Amino acid sequence: MRKPPALLVVFGVSAALFAVLPIGYLVLRLFEGFDRALAELLRLRTLELLGNTILLVTAVSISALLLGFAQAWLTTRSNVKFASMFAVLAALPLAIPSYVMALGYISIFPNFSGFFASWLVLTLATSPYVFLGVTAALVRIDTASEEVARTLGLGRFQVLRRITWPQVRPAATAAVLLVALYVLSEFGAIALLRFDTFTRAIYNAYRGSFDRTSAAALALVLLIITLIVIWFERRYRGVYLANTKALGKRVRVDLGSWSWVAMAGLALVAIVSVGVPILSLLVWSVQGSASLNLTMLLDALWGSVRLALISGLVIGAFATAVALWAVRYRTKLGVFVETVTWATHALPAVVVGLALVFFGANITPWIYQTTWMLVIAYMILFLPNALAAISTPIAQVPRDLEDVSQSLGVPANRTLFKVVLPIAFPGIIAGVALVALTVLKELPATLLLRPTETNTLATRLWGATEDLAYSQAAPYALLLVIIAGLPALALNSRARKALSEVRG
């Protein structure tokens, strides 16, 4: 076993500590004040929140599954016209942060709120995950097996139920769990649409009183629910990601006159998920353009970009170190560190933010309310994404090249910098860009931890909605879609792959 360079070890171990310490501290503090925390949790209100959260998660999971599956089947398996265009439209909501979508609706219909509103917006925002996962699975089923089933006595619908669905189920399950995690951690859209779930209650409890025990106790419950879902999601992730099988042969089903119904349905979903919110924001932006404070907008844009750049670079560096350590050296500690940094994957940003508030205020006051605290929060939230993006290009560098380099007299550590990193560089940069774009869209942790003088597009948008000044919020929302949402979708390799496979 080769020994990793000390630099990698330092970066890797600190990444793991960042990931674990604040959450651990939150739990610890709660146990100190156990009686009070318990009293908080045993109120009827907790039960109500629990009921609302579970209701929303379940409802959105089911509807996103149905919608995403229908979109995937129609675009890959039926002869519906303009399938490629509808596929792009089905993935497009990924470019719109869900709170932006919610803003688009609430600014036209001020009474659009509560369960139904949250359910609708989150279904539209999350169905692309199901769409992409199911599409990838559908195009890998050889339709010959479905035709064989027809000759063995199954009708068209029975084939869908007994042959197609069982083969898509693992991917669909993984996607639905992803949707469930998304809804569990969603804060912005639900808060805008005024539906009481854990994330909104935690934020309000924190903002509304100086006693933070209540917020922390609720955060712990949300943490536990999330961990349960994550545990399920882990079991299916492999199936979801490992689609290496060759594409199957595909025969498209002739919909006949139903083709028009299908097209109308797909178009309607696109209008509701993308058309209405974007149009609404455009109209508000134009209407409010006279009173637009350009200095404020530019200040927020700079605040966002600055944070995104710093975080992208810092997180990229840490992710590269952990990936190098875990993938190229495979020492026990390296793999352990990778697992630990993964562990924070999909934790609700409200929980992470709150944990850092506690940790920062009590243990590290010297960085509390500085940019660095925010960067650490982003690192806990997005290091797993960065690792996923950066591990692959690093793992793909052939080991032979390292051997050759060393045989030519270049020591192992320098080989890393002269051979491995330069080859993996484009992939690493893509990972950094992806993290930076995700940071641009982040709302709850930014709200909780930002230094008072720092403003971003997301926080300005939020501030305007709190004053019900939708026309002021609209340009910020549009700018977010343009500079963060669309580029992130374009960089999303899963989306690109699935969309390119729809044809054929």
Rounded to a whole number of angstroms, the minimum distance from the CB of residue 147 to other proteins is: 6
The span from the first CA to the last CA of the chain, in angstroms, equals 46
Rounded to a whole number of angstroms, the minimum distance from the CB of residue 155 to other proteins is: 6
Asked if 111 is part of the footprint of other proteins (rule: CB under 8 A), the reply reads: no
- Cβ-based nearer residue to other proteins, 152 or 290: 152
Cβ–Cβ contacts within 10 Å for residue 314, how many? 18
Six token digits for residue 94: 């990924």
- Cβ-based nearer residue to other proteins, 251 or 271: 251
Asked if 150 is part of the footprint of other proteins (rule: CB under 8 A), the reply reads: yes
- Cβ-based nearer residue to other proteins, 145 or 385: 145
User: What angle do helix axes 165-185 and 44-77 make, rounded to 10 degrees?
Assistant: 140
Residues of 367-386 as b/e, b for ≥16 C-beta within 10 angstroms?
bbbbbbbbbbbbbbbbbbbb
Place of tokens 């300005």: 460
The 158-197 contact track toward other proteins, x by CB under 8 A, reads -----x--xx------------------------------
SS3 of the chain: helix, strand, coil, percent, to 5: 80, 0, 20
- Cβ-based nearer residue to other proteins, 3 or 81: 81
Are 186 and 318 in contact by the 8 Å Cβ rule? The answer is: no
Asked if 145 is part of the footprint of other proteins (rule: CB under 8 A), the reply reads: yes
Asked if 153 is part of the footprint of other proteins (rule: CB under 8 A), the reply reads: yes
Rounded to a whole number of angstroms, the minimum distance from the CB of residue 158 to other proteins is: 8
What whole-number distance in Å separates Cα of residue 99 and Cα of residue 188? 5
- Cβ-based nearer residue to other proteins, 235 or 245: 245
- Cβ-based nearer residue to other proteins, 162 or 330: 162
Rounded to a whole number of angstroms, the minimum distance from the CB of residue 169 to other proteins is: 8
The region of 150-158, 227-235, 353-361, 471-479 touching other proteins under the rule CB under 8 A is 150-158
Q: Which of 88, 154, 283, 388 binds other proteins (CB under 8 A)?
A: 154
Are 490 and 127 in contact by the 8 Å Cβ rule? The answer is: no
**Amino acid code (one letter) for 379:** M
DSSP letter for 178, please. Answer: H
For residue 247, CA distances in Å to 175, 250, 252, 273 come to 20, 9, 14, 30
What whole-number distance in Å separates Cα of residue 349 and Cα of residue 187? 8
Rounded to a whole number of angstroms, the minimum distance from the CB of residue 72 to other proteins is: 18
Touching other proteins, residues 218-257 (CB under 8 A): 251
> What are the helix (H) ranges across 396-492?
399-407, 412-415, 421-441, 444-449, 457-466, 470-480, 486-491
The 250-279 contact track toward other proteins, x by CB under 8 A, reads -x----------------------------
Report how many residues bind other proteins under the rule CB under 8 A.
16
Task: Collect all residues with Cβ–Cβ distance below 8 Å to 121 and sequence separation of at least 6.
Answer: 98, 101, 102, 105, 189, 193
Rounded to a whole number of angstroms, the minimum distance from the CB of residue 172 to other proteins is: 13
Asked if 147 is part of the footprint of other proteins (rule: CB under 8 A), the reply reads: yes
- Cβ-based nearer residue to other proteins, 147 or 299: 147
- Cβ-based nearer residue to other proteins, 246 or 290: 246
User: What angle do helix axes 349-362 and 6-32 make, rounded to 10 degrees?
Assistant: 90
What whole-number distance in Å separates Cα of residue 186 and Cα of residue 231? 19
- Cβ-based nearer residue to other proteins, 155 or 398: 155
The region of 5-13, 153-161, 207-215, 314-322 touching other proteins under the rule CB under 8 A is 153-161
CA–centroid distance for 175 within its chain: 12
The region of 57-65, 141-149, 258-266, 470-478 touching other proteins under the rule CB under 8 A is 141-149
Asked if 78 is part of the footprint of other proteins (rule: CB under 8 A), the reply reads: no
Six token digits for residue 281: 């924001």
Q: Which of 32, 35, 151, 409 binds other proteins (CB under 8 A)?
A: 151
Rounded to a whole number of angstroms, the minimum distance from the CB of residue 252 to other proteins is: 12
Residues of 21-33 as b/e, b for ≥16 C-beta within 10 angstroms?
bbbebbeebbeee
- Cβ-based nearer residue to other proteins, 154 or 305: 154
The region of 55-63, 152-160, 193-201, 388-396 touching other proteins under the rule CB under 8 A is 152-160
- Cβ-based nearer residue to other proteins, 62 or 154: 154
For residue 413, CA distances in Å to 2, 337, 390 come to 11, 20, 19
What whole-number distance in Å separates Cα of residue 132 and Cα of residue 138? 10
Binding site for other proteins (CB under 8 A): 142, 144-145, 147-155, 163, 166-167, 251
